[in-house]
């Protein structure tokens, strides 16, 4: 309450001044009275009183100053005092501030990413009103059917607006008619400006009647694509752009900001009137009316959905479906990435703890030499509380200095990691940066750190025994109990560093495993793309295809063209390429009983004979396809090793025949089966979309025997694949004018992209672990140096009594190593815990990863030995006579 | 001014103790009375500077260790009277203990050094 009184005094300074004046005048009057009584003349009496008093104005100022200085200046005085103390020992100050900056920087960096990714409110006006309606099937989140959306929109009262963002992705068409990668979406008119509340930078949003068939060839584009692709053309509105090779008129450019970070470059309009059936699915996004709660909206939508379900007549399965109204938030991220980020935050938290332990240690060492100063102060009337507050102020001053540098460092780390290690194409709509929340977080952890490590010297000071300290003079007495606090802190530091190093070791091990996965093919210098027939005429009609023989002829011509492109060494066509997913196609083994209810399934693709050479796939048994396996010759098939293991375990696969539905010209005729002779077994190729999944059983037939119209192509190049893309596009344009190139990509990039998240985790984890190692080493070094300095006398005595220099060094090193080993031991237990946490994000690494644990423990041990040996070496340089004479 | 902070702080402990002790003994007293009392009680050995006393009184009051009220003196003048609060009494005890330690320490040094 005293604080409030002082602060209040600040505002009524004049009143306080007047009161002080009155009091001082009273004092002078009382003195004058006494002087008069003692027999002085009135003038003399007053003069004496005034003289004794000194300058009353100055005194008044000082009385008033006692006031304000107690409130604020008291703190500033402590801060100034702390700064002076720091300037007096720059080595200590720089080490401590750097250690703190190293601890705080990574926290700021990781938190700024986490804040933007998971915690920040979405950057839209009143984003708390934005909701998503999810359809759930057996607990799994699904898109909502457009028909249901139309009913929700028509019947609900909870929403200002309800929009749908269709999952049907549209692609821009490049000038050479190939398809651009970035996909746009179809949305109901008003979604951007009215529901999301993002205004247009140019032009307008869709009109309410735009989006019906025949009136849906308009587009709004993001600011980013406007700049990057259309060179910020100020006249873009009204111009036509090609989407799926059809002209769409640009009606608006969305304001720069959040929509640039969603990865959706453009939108086209879509209107879904209730009662008109379409096969769209999508995200239903709405804005609640003010005052309507999520629960109310949920209740209303559930009622509508139950009514719809009874009309839909979904039958037995109805109970598997449900709907939920949820806050719109950034929860579309890969779980692994999400987990990685939180793990990283834990890791940097540990780094900060190590930094705190480090600084606490430095303060303890310094506190020993300040004991006398503190003893004198407390003897002169400073209370324990006052000394504690002063020491805490010093710690917090240190922390703030470290925090400022740490924030700058964190900004650098954040920018660097965002630039070098893109987590994903779009992690969050909120911008990653140093905003108010991040700064508050930084200030919070800085103060917390200051209080945390500030307790150490405070605790030390509170144990100060006054008369002992004053009696002893400056000589510090050795002995283990004097440094027990420091020993504990060093052990903690080493243990925490061990945990972090173990995490980094496991991340590294996992990444090494990922980099050495047997893909089954050589990704280097392979360029792939899929071909899609150019849409002709009205959409939705069943396409017709020429007979298979004709398709084969066209494919031969296409392949010849691709092979003729300069730089291309081999080319192949196939219905699917590795790492792009697989299907499950039913088959039967000839001569074995047919299981109609649960037939065996395998991935089924048709490939040209050159496929194996182009991808560098090895043969395990039998033979590859040959050019002479054609329509009319014996139908042949190849299977992979997994297929053999799973379905043909006890037979010679080369003697078996497989029964498959008849296929020709884009049709699969399940009524008729064809018999294929297995002629070869190839080495397993990763066909799923993740590097880490199991290999599926696979069956390949020759494309020359199938004549399938939809294909992808792959070319192996002798040069950098980027150099041949122009030639390849040209070859396709000539040989397959009816085809659009889709997803032209380097196979190596596809593989690398799979490892992006893991690389991000590994590099950052490794970097933070290195910081931890450094801090721990500095901590050990500091304690050892202090111990050597304190035990100079003892060492001198030992040496005078005949101890050899080497023995003395060994003695000192042993003391340090005991702490390091204890720390490593404790850290191993923590590492096991971390391993369990990290387990799901790692590949091929046990939660107790003995190999990497041993490796990092060894590294830590060696660093600890070095950090002990360097200061211990100094003890050998002690001159016994000198050391003893110091007494 | 920064250079003067330290010694002043250290002396405060002693002055505070003297004021505490005086007020504990006399109950309620004005600044001038405190000066007089210390002088008398120390057999004229200690003389408190008015220039240090009033800032100290003000600071102690702000810390809640002493409380003040205006009242009339025997000579019918208005003066500000101070008295110890409960917190002040605790503070007195601590100040006395630290001072005893100081004295013991100094004495020890004087004896052996």
Other CB atoms within a 10 A radius of the CB of residue A595 amount to 10
Q: Is A596 helix (H, G, I), strand (E, B) or coil?
A: coil
**Lowest mean pLDDT segment, chosen from A183-197, A235-249, A380-394, B60-74:** A380-394
Residues linked to residue A186 through DSSP beta bridges, in sequence order = A268
Taking the C-alpha atoms of residue A779 and residue A863, their distance in angstroms, rounded to an integer, is 11
Distance from the Cα of A58 to chain B's closest Cα (Å) equals 8
Largest CA distance in chain A: 144
Q: In the 3-class helix/strand/coil scheme, how is A209-267 assigned residue by residue?
A: CECECCCCCEEEECHHHHHHCCCCCCCCCCCEEEECCEEEEEEEEECCCHHHHCCCCEE
pLDDT score at B9: 41
Which of A33, A63, A379 shows the shortest C-beta gap to B58? A63
Query: Phi/psi of residue A134, each to 5°?
Result: -100, 140
Taking the C-alpha atoms of residue B17 and residue B4, their distance in angstroms, rounded to an integer, is 21
Q: Chain A partners of B32 at a C-beta cutoff of 8 Å?
A: 26-27, 30-31
Residue B104's closest chain A neighbor by CA?
A: A467
Higher pLDDT residue, A690 or A653? A653
pLDDT score at A478: 44
Q: In the 3-class helix/strand/coil scheme, how is A259-320 assigned residue by residue?
A: HHHCCCCEEEECCCCCCCCCCCEEEEEEEECCCCCHHHHHHHHHHHHHHHHHHHCCHHHHHH
Q: Chain A partners of B20 at a C-beta cutoff of 8 Å?
A: none
Chain B contact present for A415, CB below 8 A: no
Residue A54's closest chain B neighbor by CA?
A: B51
Q: How confident is the model at residue A73 (pLDDT cuts 50, 70, 90)?
A: low
How distant is the alpha carbon of residue A106 from its chain centre? Answer: 12
Distance from the Cα of B46 to chain A's closest Cα (Å) equals 15
A540, pLDDT greater than 50: no
Yes or no: say if A863 and A773 are a contact pair by the CB < 8 Å rule: yes
Q: In the 3-class helix/strand/coil scheme, how is A721-787 assigned residue by residue?
A: HHHHHHHHHHHHHHHCCCEEEEEEEEHHHHHHHHCHHHHHHHHHHHHHHHHHHHHHHHHHHHHHHHH
Yes or no: say if A794 and A887 are a contact pair by the CB < 8 Å rule: no
pLDDT score at A477: 46
Chain B contact present for A462, CB below 8 A: no
Taking the C-alpha atoms of residue A35 and residue A25, their distance in angstroms, rounded to an integer, is 15
- Among A336, A350, A504, CA closest to A849: A504
Taking the C-alpha atoms of residue A204 and residue A218, their distance in angstroms, rounded to an integer, is 11
Which of A719-723's residues contact partners 24+ apart within 8 Å by CB, and which partners?
A: A719/A525, A719/A567, A720/A525, A721/A525, A721/A526, A721/A527, A721/A746, A722/A746, A723/A567
Stated as kind and residue range, the H or E segment containing A471 is helix A466-472
Other CB atoms within a 10 A radius of the CB of residue A838 amount to 25
Chain A contact present for B107, CB below 8 A: no
Q: Chain A partners of B59 at a C-beta cutoff of 8 Å?
A: 66-67, 70
Cα atoms found within 13 Å of the Cα of residue A563, Cβ hemisphere only: 13
Stated as kind and residue range, the H or E segment containing A203 is strand A200-203
A715, pLDDT greater than 50: yes
Chain B contact present for A70, CB below 8 A: yes
Residues linked to residue B69 through DSSP beta bridges, in sequence order = B81
Chain B contact present for A3, CB below 8 A: no
pLDDT score at A288: 93
Contact A380 B51 (CB under 8 A): no
Contact A30 B64 (CB under 8 A): no
CB contact set of A210 (below 8 Å; sequence gap of 6+): A189, A216, A218, A251, A269, A271
Taking the C-alpha atoms of residue A794 and residue A806, their distance in angstroms, rounded to an integer, is 15
Taking the C-alpha atoms of residue A19 and residue A5, their distance in angstroms, rounded to an integer, is 15
Name the CA dihedral angle for A76, A81, A82, A88, rounded to a multiple of 10 degrees: 150
Which of B62, B102, B112 shows the shortest C-beta gap to A6? B62
A115-156: pLDDT as tens digits? 888 888 888 889 889 999 988 887 778 788 888 888 898 899
Contact B108 A379 (CB under 8 A): no
Calculate the average pLDDT of chain A. 83
Mark which residues 10-49 of B lie under 8 Å from A by CB. 10-14, 16-17, 30-32, 49
Helix boundaries (H) for A294-435: 294-312, 335-379, 384-420
A649-671: pLDDT as tens digits? 888 989 989 988 877 666 777 67
**Lowest mean pLDDT segment, chosen from A22-36, A156-170, A196-210, A413-427:** A413-427
Taking the C-alpha atoms of residue B113 and residue B107, their distance in angstroms, rounded to an integer, is 10
Cα atoms found within 13 Å of the Cα of residue A579, Cβ hemisphere only: 26
Query: Phi/psi of residue A741, each to 5°?
Result: -80, 130
Determine the average pLDDT of the residues in A64-71. 58
Spell A429-457 as b/e; 16+ CB within 10 A means b.
bbebebeeebeebbeebbbebbebbbbbb
Determine the average pLDDT of the residues in A743-764. 82
B55-90: pLDDT as tens digits? 888 888 888 889 988 888 888 888 889 999 988 888
Contact B77 A30 (CB under 8 A): yes
Taking the C-alpha atoms of residue A467 and residue B101, their distance in angstroms, rounded to an integer, is 6
Chain B contact present for A1, CB below 8 A: yes
**Lowest mean pLDDT segment, chosen from A118-122, A384-388, A600-604, B1-5:** B1-5
Yes or no: say if A105 and A404 are a contact pair by the CB < 8 Å rule: no
Yes or no: say if A621 and A722 are a contact pair by the CB < 8 Å rule: no
Chain B contact present for A126, CB below 8 A: no
CA distances from B94 to A39, A46, B106 (A): 42, 39, 18
Determine the average pLDDT of the residues in B21-46. 86
CB contact set of A525 (below 8 Å; sequence gap of 6+): A716, A717, A718, A719, A720, A721, A748
- Among A19, A61, A54, A381, CA closest to B50: A54
10 Å CB burial of residue A40 (0-12, 13-18, 19+) is middle
3-state DSSP helix/strand/coil % of chain A, to nearest 5? 55, 20, 25
Distance from the Cα of A101 to chain B's closest Cα (Å) equals 29
Judge if pTM exceeds 0.90.
no
Chain B contact present for A472, CB below 8 A: no
C-alpha torsion sign, points A277, A281, A287, A292: positive
Distance from the Cα of B73 to chain A's closest Cα (Å) equals 9
Taking the C-alpha atoms of residue A705 and residue A632, their distance in angstroms, rounded to an integer, is 8
How distant is the alpha carbon of residue A739 from its chain centre? Answer: 39
Chain A contact present for B99, CB below 8 A: yes
Distance from the Cα of B107 to chain A's closest Cα (Å) equals 10
CA-atom Rg of chain A in angstroms = 39
**Lowest mean pLDDT segment, chosen from A170-174, A340-344, A669-673, B101-105:** A669-673
Give the residue from A381, A388, A464, A471 with the most B CB atoms within 10 Å of its CB, the best one to mutate. Answer: A381
Chain B contact present for A31, CB below 8 A: yes
Q: How confident is the model at residue A475 (pLDDT cuts 50, 70, 90)?
A: very low
Which of B31, B79, B108 shows the shortest C-beta gap to A471? B108
Taking the C-alpha atoms of residue A576 and residue A528, their distance in angstroms, rounded to an integer, is 10
Percent of chain A with pLDDT over 70: 89
Distance from the Cα of A95 to chain B's closest Cα (Å) equals 26
Query: Phi/psi of residue A870, each to 5°?
Result: -55, -55
Taking the C-alpha atoms of residue A71 and residue A89, their distance in angstroms, rounded to an integer, is 28
How distant is the alpha carbon of residue A630 from its chain centre? Answer: 52
Q: Is A587 helix (H, G, I), strand (E, B) or coil?
A: coil
Which of A26, A58, A67 shows the shortest C-beta gap to B58? A67
Q: Chain B partners of A381 at a C-beta cutoff of 8 Å?
A: 10, 12-14, 16-17, 95, 98-99
Residue B100's closest chain A neighbor by CA?
A: A379
Residue A467's closest chain B neighbor by CA?
A: B105
Mark which residues 357-396 of A lie under 8 Å from B by CB. 375-383
Taking phi over 0 as left and psi of -120 to 50 as alpha, with beta for the rest, A576 belongs to: beta
What angle in degrees, to the nearest 10, is found between the helix axes of A335-379 and A484-515?
A: 170
Yes or no: say if A330 and A122 are a contact pair by the CB < 8 Å rule: yes
Q: How confident is the model at residue A481 (pLDDT cuts 50, 70, 90)?
A: very low
Q: Is A131 helix (H, G, I), strand (E, B) or coil?
A: strand
Taking phi over 0 as left and psi of -120 to 50 as alpha, with beta for the rest, A269 belongs to: beta
Q: Is A556 helix (H, G, I), strand (E, B) or coil?
A: helix
So what's the ipTM on this one? 0.78
Yes or no: say if B9 and A377 are a contact pair by the CB < 8 Å rule: yes
Contact A29 B77 (CB under 8 A): yes
A62, pLDDT greater than 70: yes
Contact A52 B11 (CB under 8 A): no
Distance from the Cα of B14 to chain A's closest Cα (Å) equals 6
A623-637: pLDDT as tens digits? 999 999 888 889 999
Taking the C-alpha atoms of residue A389 and residue A397, their distance in angstroms, rounded to an integer, is 12
Chain A contact present for B54, CB below 8 A: yes
Name the CA dihedral angle for A256, A259, A264, A266, rounded to a multiple of 10 degrees: -50
Determine the average pLDDT of the residues in A777-787. 82
Other CB atoms within a 10 A radius of the CB of residue A785 amount to 17
Judging by DSSP bridges, how do beta strands A240-243 and A246-254 pair with one another?
Answer: antiparallel
Q: Chain B partners of A64 at a C-beta cutoff of 8 Å?
A: 58
Determine the average pLDDT of the residues in A493-520. 88
Distance from the Cα of B99 to chain A's closest Cα (Å) equals 6
Which of B12, B50, B91 shows the shortest C-beta gap to A52? B50
Chain A contact present for B63, CB below 8 A: yes
A421, pLDDT greater than 50: yes
CA distances from A867 to A34, A781, A818 (A): 73, 5, 13
pLDDT score at A464: 65
A423, pLDDT greater than 60: no
């Amino acid at each position: 309450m005293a604080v409030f009184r002082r602060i209040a005094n600040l505002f009524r300074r004049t009143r306080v001044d007047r009161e002080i004046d009155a009091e001082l005048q009273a004092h002078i009057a009382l003195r004058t009275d006494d002087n008069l009584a003692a027999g002085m003349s009135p003038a003399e009496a007053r003069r004496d009183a005034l003289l004794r008093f000194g300058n009353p104005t100055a005194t008044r100022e000082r009385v008033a100053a006692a006031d304000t200085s107690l409130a604020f200046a008291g703190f500033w005085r402590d801060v100034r005092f702390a700064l002076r103390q720091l300037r007096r020992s720059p080595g200590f100050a720089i080490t401590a501030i750097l250690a703190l900056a190293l601890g705080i920087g990574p926290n700021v960096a990781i938190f700024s990413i986490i804040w933007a990714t998971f915690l920040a409110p979405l950057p839209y006006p009143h984003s708390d009103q934005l909701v998503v309606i999810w359809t759930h099937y057996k607990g799994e989140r699904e898109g909502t059917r457009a028909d249901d959306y139309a009913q929700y929109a028509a019947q609900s009262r909870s929403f200002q607006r309800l929009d749908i963002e269709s999952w049907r992705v549209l692609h821009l068409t490049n000038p050479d008619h190939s398809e651009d990668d970035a996909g746009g979406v179809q949305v109901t008119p008003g979604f951007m400006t009215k529901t999301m509340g993002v205004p247009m930078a140019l032009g307008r949003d869709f009109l309410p009647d735009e989006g019906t068939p025949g009136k849906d060839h308009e587009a709004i584009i993001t600011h980013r694509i406007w700049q990057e692709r259309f060179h910020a053309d100020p006249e873009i509105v009204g111009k036509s752009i090609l989407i799926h090779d059809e002209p769409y008129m640009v009606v608006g450019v969305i304001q720069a900001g959040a929509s640039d970070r969603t990865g959706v470059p453009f939108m086209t309009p879509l209107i879904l009137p209730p009662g008109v059936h379409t096969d769209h699915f999508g995200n239903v996004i709405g804005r609640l009316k003010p005052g309507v709660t999520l629960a109310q909206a949920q209740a209303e939508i559930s009622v509508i959905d139950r009514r719809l379900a009874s009309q839909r007549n979904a039958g037995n399965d109805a109970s598997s479906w449900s709907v939920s109204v949820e806050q719109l938030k950034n929860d579309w991220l890969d779980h692994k990435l999400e987990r990685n980020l939180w793990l990283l935050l834990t890791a940097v938290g540990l780094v900060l703890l190590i930094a705190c332990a480090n600084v606490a240690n430095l303060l303890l060492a310094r506190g020993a030499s300040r004991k006398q100063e503190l003893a004198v102060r407390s003897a002169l009337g400073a209370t324990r509380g006052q000394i504690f507050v002063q020491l805490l102020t010093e710690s917090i001053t240190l922390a703030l200095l470290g925090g400022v540098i740490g924030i700058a460092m964190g900004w650098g780390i954040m920018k660097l990691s965002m630039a070098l290690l893109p987590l994903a194409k779009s992690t969050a709509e909120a911008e990653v940066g140093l905003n108010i929340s991040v700064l508050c977080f930084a200030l919070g952890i800085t103060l917390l750190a200051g209080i945390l490590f500030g307790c150490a010297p405070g605790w030390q000071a509170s144990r100060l025994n006054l008369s002992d300290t004053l009696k002893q003079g400056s000589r510090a007495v050795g002995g283990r109990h004097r440094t027990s606090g420091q020993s504990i802190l060093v052990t903690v530091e080493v243990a925490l560093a061990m945990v972090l190093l173990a995490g980094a070791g496991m991340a590294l091990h996992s990444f090494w495993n990922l980099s050495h996965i047997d893909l089954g093919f050589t990704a280097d210098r392979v360029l792939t793309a899929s071909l899609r027939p150019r849409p002709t005429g009205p959409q939705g009609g069943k396409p017709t295809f020429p007979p298979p023989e004709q398709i084969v002829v066209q494919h031969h011509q296409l392949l010849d063209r691709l092979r003729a492109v300069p730089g291309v060494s081999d080319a192949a066509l196939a219905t699917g390429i590795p790492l792009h997913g697989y299907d499950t196609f039913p088959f039967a083994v000839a001569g074995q009983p047919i299981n109609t209810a649960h037939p065996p399934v395998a991935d089924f693709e048709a490939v040209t004979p050159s496929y194996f050479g182009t991808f560098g796939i090895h043969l395990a048994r039998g033979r590859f396809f040959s050019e002479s396996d054609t329509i009319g010759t014996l139908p042949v098939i190849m299977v992979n090793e997994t297929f053999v293991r799973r379905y043909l375990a006890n037979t010679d696969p080369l003697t078996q025949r497989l029964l498959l539905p008849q296929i020709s010209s884009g049709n699969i005729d399940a009524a008729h089966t064809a018999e294929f002779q297995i002629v070869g077994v190839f080495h397993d190729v990763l066909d799923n979309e993740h590097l880490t999944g199991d290999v599926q059983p696979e069956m390949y037939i020759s494309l020359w025997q199938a004549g399938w119209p939809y294909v992808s192509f792959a070319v192996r190049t002798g040069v950098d694949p980027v150099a041949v893309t122009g030639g390849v596009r040209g070859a396709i344009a000539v040989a397959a004018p009816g085809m659009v190139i889709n997803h032209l990509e380097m196979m190596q990039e596809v593989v690398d992209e799979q490892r992006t998240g893991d690389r991000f985790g590994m590099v950052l984890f490794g970097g933070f672990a290195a910081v931890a190692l450094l801090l721990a080493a500095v901590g050990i070094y500091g304690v050892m140096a202090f111990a050597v300095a304190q035990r100079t006398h003892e060492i001198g005595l030992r040496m005078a009594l005949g101890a050899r220099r080497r023995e003395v060094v060994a003695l000192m090193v042993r003391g340090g190593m005991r702490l390091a080993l204890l720390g490593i031991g404790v850290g191993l237990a923590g590492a096991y815990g971390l391993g369990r946490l990290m387990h799901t994000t790692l590949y091929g690494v046990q939660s107790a990863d003995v190999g990497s644990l041993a490796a990092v423990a060894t590294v830590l041990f060696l660093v600890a030995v070095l950090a002990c040996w360097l200061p211990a070496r100094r003890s050998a340089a002690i001159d016994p006579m000198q050391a003893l004479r110091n007494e | 001014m920064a250079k003067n902070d330290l010694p002043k702080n250290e002396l405060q402990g002693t002055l505070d103790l003297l004021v505490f002790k005086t007020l504990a003994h006399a109950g309620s007293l004005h600044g001038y009375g405190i000066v007089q009392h210390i002088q008398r009680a120390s057999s004229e050995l200690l003389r408190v500077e008015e220039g240090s006393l009033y800032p100290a009184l003000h600071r102690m009051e702000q810390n809640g260790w002493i409380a003040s009220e205006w009242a009339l003196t025997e000579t019918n003048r208005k003066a500000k009277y101070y008295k110890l609060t409960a917190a002040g009494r605790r503070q007195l005890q601590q100040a006395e203990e630290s001072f005893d330690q100081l004295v013991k320490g100094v004495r020890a040094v004087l004896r052996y050094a």
